[in-house]
Protein backbone atom coordinates (compact mmCIF):
# COMPACT_ATOMS: atom_id res chain seq x y z
CA UNK A 1 0.00 0.00 0.00
CA UNK A 2 2.77 2.46 0.94
CA UNK A 3 4.64 1.72 -2.31
CA UNK A 4 1.51 2.55 -4.33
CA UNK A 5 1.03 5.81 -2.41
CA UNK A 6 4.70 6.70 -3.04
CA UNK A 7 4.33 6.05 -6.78
CA UNK A 8 1.15 8.15 -6.94
CA UNK A 9 2.84 10.98 -5.04
CA UNK A 10 5.92 10.77 -7.28
CA UNK A 11 3.80 10.96 -10.43
CA UNK A 12 1.74 13.79 -8.95
CA UNK A 13 4.82 15.85 -8.04
CA UNK A 14 6.33 15.35 -11.49
CA UNK A 15 3.11 16.25 -13.28
CA UNK A 16 2.53 19.26 -11.02
CA UNK A 17 6.07 20.56 -11.57
CA UNK A 18 5.82 20.18 -15.34
CA UNK A 19 2.34 21.69 -15.44
CA UNK A 20 3.41 24.70 -13.37
CA UNK A 21 6.21 25.42 -15.83
CA UNK A 22 3.90 24.95 -18.83
CA UNK A 23 1.16 27.19 -17.40
CA UNK A 24 3.70 29.78 -16.30
CA UNK A 25 5.17 29.90 -19.81
CA UNK A 26 1.69 30.07 -21.39
CA UNK A 27 0.71 32.97 -19.12
CA UNK A 28 3.90 34.83 -20.02
CA UNK A 29 3.36 34.30 -23.75
CA UNK A 30 -0.17 35.70 -23.70
CA UNK A 31 0.77 38.81 -21.71
CA UNK A 32 2.86 41.91 -22.31
CA UNK A 33 6.11 39.94 -21.97
CA UNK A 34 5.55 37.42 -24.75
CA UNK A 35 9.11 38.00 -25.95
CA UNK A 36 10.58 36.62 -22.70
CA UNK A 37 11.36 32.96 -22.14
CA UNK A 38 10.58 31.19 -18.88
CA UNK A 39 14.33 31.06 -18.25
CA UNK A 40 14.57 34.84 -18.67
CA UNK A 41 11.63 35.35 -16.31
CA UNK A 42 13.35 33.19 -13.70
CA UNK A 43 16.55 35.20 -14.19
CA UNK A 44 14.56 38.39 -13.55
CA UNK A 45 13.05 36.80 -10.43
CA UNK A 46 16.49 35.79 -9.14
CA UNK A 47 17.81 39.32 -9.58
CA UNK A 48 15.23 40.78 -7.23
CA UNK A 49 13.50 44.12 -7.35
CA UNK A 50 15.37 46.51 -5.17
CA UNK A 51 19.14 46.37 -5.16
CA UNK A 52 21.76 45.98 -7.85
CA UNK A 53 23.59 42.65 -7.65
CA UNK A 54 26.74 41.20 -9.10
CA UNK A 55 26.66 38.57 -11.81
CA UNK A 56 28.29 36.10 -9.41
CA UNK A 57 25.53 36.56 -6.82
CA UNK A 58 22.74 35.98 -9.32
CA UNK A 59 24.55 33.08 -11.01
CA UNK A 60 24.94 31.38 -7.62
CA UNK A 61 21.23 31.83 -6.87
CA UNK A 62 20.33 30.29 -10.24
CA UNK A 63 22.98 27.57 -9.92
CA UNK A 64 24.48 28.46 -13.31
CA UNK A 65 27.89 29.69 -14.42
CA UNK A 66 28.59 33.39 -14.82
CA UNK A 67 29.11 32.69 -18.54
CA UNK A 68 25.64 31.20 -18.87
CA UNK A 69 24.15 34.12 -16.96
CA UNK A 70 26.03 36.61 -19.15
CA UNK A 71 24.26 35.30 -22.25
CA UNK A 72 20.87 35.62 -20.53
CA UNK A 73 21.65 39.12 -19.24
CA UNK A 74 22.79 40.24 -22.70
CA UNK A 75 19.38 39.22 -24.06
CA UNK A 76 17.54 40.89 -21.18
CA UNK A 77 19.51 44.11 -21.73
CA UNK A 78 18.52 44.05 -25.42
CA UNK A 79 14.89 43.51 -24.42
CA UNK A 80 15.02 46.50 -22.06
CA UNK A 81 14.50 44.56 -18.82
CA UNK A 82 17.98 44.78 -17.28
CA UNK A 83 20.72 47.38 -17.12
CA UNK A 84 24.36 47.13 -16.15
CA UNK A 85 26.01 49.72 -13.91
CA UNK A 86 29.51 50.14 -12.58
CA UNK A 87 29.85 49.93 -8.82
CA UNK A 88 30.42 53.38 -7.33
CA UNK A 89 33.10 52.17 -4.89
CA UNK A 90 34.95 49.81 -7.24
CA UNK A 91 34.58 50.73 -10.91
CA UNK A 92 35.87 47.28 -11.94
CA UNK A 93 32.71 45.68 -10.56
CA UNK A 94 29.65 45.65 -12.78
CA UNK A 95 26.26 45.25 -11.15
CA UNK A 96 22.99 44.36 -12.81
CA UNK A 97 19.55 45.64 -11.92
CA UNK A 98 16.05 45.58 -13.29
CA UNK A 99 14.71 48.46 -15.35
CA UNK A 100 11.15 49.68 -14.96
CA UNK A 101 10.11 47.11 -17.59
CA UNK A 102 12.02 44.37 -15.76
CA UNK A 103 10.35 45.28 -12.48
CA UNK A 104 6.93 44.99 -14.12
CA UNK A 105 7.85 41.50 -15.41
CA UNK A 106 9.02 40.62 -11.88
CA UNK A 107 5.72 41.76 -10.36
CA UNK A 108 3.63 39.83 -12.88
CA UNK A 109 5.67 36.68 -12.23
CA UNK A 110 5.45 37.17 -8.48
CA UNK A 111 1.66 37.60 -8.72
CA UNK A 112 1.42 34.29 -10.59
CA UNK A 113 3.30 32.53 -7.80
CA UNK A 114 1.36 34.23 -5.02
CA UNK A 115 -1.96 33.24 -6.61
CA UNK A 116 -0.71 29.67 -6.92
CA UNK A 117 0.23 29.58 -3.22
CA UNK A 118 -3.05 31.20 -2.20
CA UNK A 119 -5.04 28.56 -4.11
CA UNK A 120 -2.90 25.76 -2.69
CA UNK A 121 -3.45 26.81 0.92
CA UNK A 122 -7.09 27.93 0.59
CA UNK A 123 -9.28 26.04 3.03
CA UNK A 124 -6.36 24.29 4.73
CA UNK A 125 -5.54 26.47 7.77
CA UNK A 126 -5.17 23.47 10.10
CA UNK A 127 -3.11 21.49 7.60
CA UNK A 128 -0.96 24.35 6.35
CA UNK A 129 1.87 23.39 8.71
CA UNK A 130 1.79 19.83 7.37
CA UNK A 131 2.07 21.12 3.81
CA UNK A 132 4.94 23.46 4.72
CA UNK A 133 6.73 20.75 6.68
CA UNK A 134 6.40 18.28 3.81
CA UNK A 135 7.66 20.75 1.22
CA UNK A 136 10.50 21.78 3.53
CA UNK A 137 11.54 18.12 3.83
CA UNK A 138 11.47 17.78 0.05
CA UNK A 139 13.56 20.93 -0.37
CA UNK A 140 16.04 19.84 2.31
CA UNK A 141 16.39 16.46 0.59
CA UNK A 142 17.26 18.12 -2.73
CA UNK A 143 19.79 20.45 -1.12
CA UNK A 144 21.43 17.69 0.90
CA UNK A 145 21.47 15.12 -1.89
CA UNK A 146 22.01 17.11 -5.10
CA UNK A 147 23.70 20.42 -4.30
pLDDT at position 128: 59
Cβ neighbors of 14 (< 8 A, separation 6 or more) are none
* Phi, psi of 101, deg, nearest 5: -65, -40
Q: What is the pLDDT of residue 111?
A: 92
Q: Which residues have CB under 8 Å from 37's CB, separation 6+?
A: 25
Give kind and range of the element (H or E) at residue 97: strand 94-98
pLDDT per residue as tens, the chain (147 positions)? 577 888 998 899 899 989 988 888 888 888 888 999 999 999 999 999 999 999 999 999 999 999 999 999 999 999 999 999 988 888 888 899 999 999 999 999 999 999 988 888 888 766 657 888 888 998 899 888 887
Q: What CA–CA distances, in Å, run from 10 to 15, 22, 122?
A: 9, 18, 23
The pLDDT score that the predictor gives to residue 127 is: 60
**Ordered domains of the chain (ranges, CATH):** 2-146 (1.10.10.10)
CB atoms within 10 A of CB 42: 17
Amino acid sequence: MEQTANLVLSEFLLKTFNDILAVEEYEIKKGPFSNLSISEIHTIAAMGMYKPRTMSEVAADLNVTVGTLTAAINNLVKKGCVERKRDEDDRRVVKIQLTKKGKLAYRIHEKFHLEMVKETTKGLPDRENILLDSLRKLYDHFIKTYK
